[in-house]
Amino acid sequence: MIDKIPKQELLYLDRIKKFVQEELNPISLQVETSGEIPEAIVEKMRRLGLFGLAIPGKYGGLGLSTLGEILVYEELTQTNACFRSRIGTSNSIGSMGILFDGTEDQKKKYLPWIAQGERTAAFALTEPDAGSDAANIQCRAVLDGDHWLLNGTKQFITNGDCAGVITTIAVTDDNKRARGGFTAFIVENDFPGLCVSPPDRKMGLRGSHTNELVFRNCRVPRENVIGGPSMVGQGFNTAMRVLDKGRLTMGACALGASQKLLEYSRDHIRHLIQSGKPRDDLQAARFSLADMATEIFAARRMLYETARLRDTGKNVTQEASMVKLFCTEMASRIADRAMGIFEDEGYLTKNQIEMFLRDVRLYRIFEGTSEIQRMVIARNLLKD
């Protein structure tokens, strides 16, 4: 299937592979400890065009196909996951609402900023009482002359403290709520009334920040409703379309991590064989390796096929949920198996197995938990 992607995209992929091996891998542990990606690396990401993978060329991005973009994420997640996360929200949940539903003026104003990495994009849907149940959001927007006044709290917002543009979903009609009463706004980080809390302390993705955003009479110009005045009330649909795309991305991230864990595990078993460990003692490890490779083979086919279908214009809501469910659950199984193969060595920070084990758990939580994917899949199967 890779042979179907344009030569230009394959050449770009080679540059990303090199960047991962030569620039990101060597600082992975340093970033894990410091919790920060050095600005010089972020600058190199900008120059490589990584902030605008999916944004069309006419708005300053690379305009990669879905398959091309997926392949880039697969490469970027073969190292510390926080590097992918730094560019991830700009390419998917943070910018896609503007790309899918924005007015031409909004696209011209915001997409070039985002694509060139001048302003990172983020996406603010989750609240203290609204995670999986996104229809329960309480953040409110009330029209006040030429501005909307936003009030409420969003939490777990990836890249919240480095974002310049935040797609924010708020309630504009309490009677209609998710059925025509939510609106998507473009909020700039310097709009008065927006307060960003310090980064959350987390189990994994330590070099990627999540923050609480508090809106207190935050003034958002009327023209910043995504899609303009006729789209007031349509924010839930925008958010759901954005998440469809994000689910494929999560599949790619889970696959990239799994591939790396497979390679680490294979090299470790080879090392044990070379060190004279009897083959019989390694039977369980060898079978584990075989199971890992088999699952990865299946996951890769699913993911690439769904990306290809999306590139042909097909609606892939059902397939994207299946990909997210399968790939992310697989990554947790694979990380656990890798830990079993490495045993005590895997528990040591320097070998990075424990980092992958912590990081891949997240893929089963955000952009819809595994249970939510199962609900989507079953609902579609049971439709008349």
Please list the active-site residues: 367
Q: Is 366 in the site for ligand FAD (CB under 6 A)?
A: yes
Quick check: helix, strand or coil at residue 61?
coil
User: What residues have CB less than 8 Å from 275, skipping those under 6 apart?
Assistant: none
- Measured CA distances, 263 to 172, 259, 271 (Å): 50, 6, 12
Q: Give the nearest residue (CB) to ligand FAD.
A: 131
Q: Which of 153, 124, 149 is nearest to 138 (CA)?
A: 153
Q: Which is nearer to ligand FAD, 365 or 377 (CB)?
A: 365
- Measured CA distances, 41 to 37, 142, 230 (Å): 7, 41, 41
- Answer for which of 45, 54, 70, 125 binds ligand FAD (CB under 6 A) is 125
> Any idea which residue has 């909020």 for tokens?
187
How far is the C-alpha of 297 from the C-alpha of 265, rounded, in Å?
16
Q: Which is nearer to ligand FAD, 89 or 265 (CB)?
A: 89
Q: Is 365 in the site for ligand FAD (CB under 6 A)?
A: yes
How near is the Cβ of 289 to ligand FAD at its closest, in Å? 30
Question: Quick one: which segment of 1-9, 58-66, 300-308, 361-369 binds ligand FAD (CB under 6 A)?
Answer: 361-369
How near is the Cβ of 89 to ligand FAD at its closest, in Å? 6
- Answer for which of 158, 167, 238, 373 binds ligand FAD (CB under 6 A) is 158
In contact, 154 and 168? CB cutoff 8 Å: yes
How near is the Cβ of 167 to ligand FAD at its closest, in Å? 9
How near is the Cβ of 132 to ligand FAD at its closest, in Å? 3
Site string for ligand FAD, 126-155 (x = CB under 6 A): x----xxx----------------------
**How many other CB atoms are found less than 10 A from the CB of residue 100?**
16
In contact, 74 and 140? CB cutoff 8 Å: no
Q: Is 124 in the site for ligand FAD (CB under 6 A)?
A: yes
User: What residues have CB less than 8 Å from 273, skipping those under 6 apart?
Assistant: 279, 282
Site string for ligand FAD, 103-122 (x = CB under 6 A): -------------------x
Q: Is 371 in the site for ligand FAD (CB under 6 A)?
A: yes
Tell how many helices (H) and how many strands (E) occur in the chain: 12, 7
Q: Is 210 in the site for ligand FAD (CB under 6 A)?
A: yes
**Contacts to ligand FAD from residues 245-274, by CB under 6 A:** none
Q: Is 157 in the site for ligand FAD (CB under 6 A)?
A: yes
Give me 200's structure tokens: 């959350």
Which helix (H) or strand (E) is 171 found in, with range? strand 163-171
The β-bridge relationship of strands 120-124 and 163-171 is parallel
How near is the Cβ of 134 to ligand FAD at its closest, in Å? 7
Tell me which residues touch ligand FAD (CB under 6 A). Answer: 89, 122-126, 131-133, 156-158, 202, 205, 210, 362, 365-366, 369, 371-372, 375
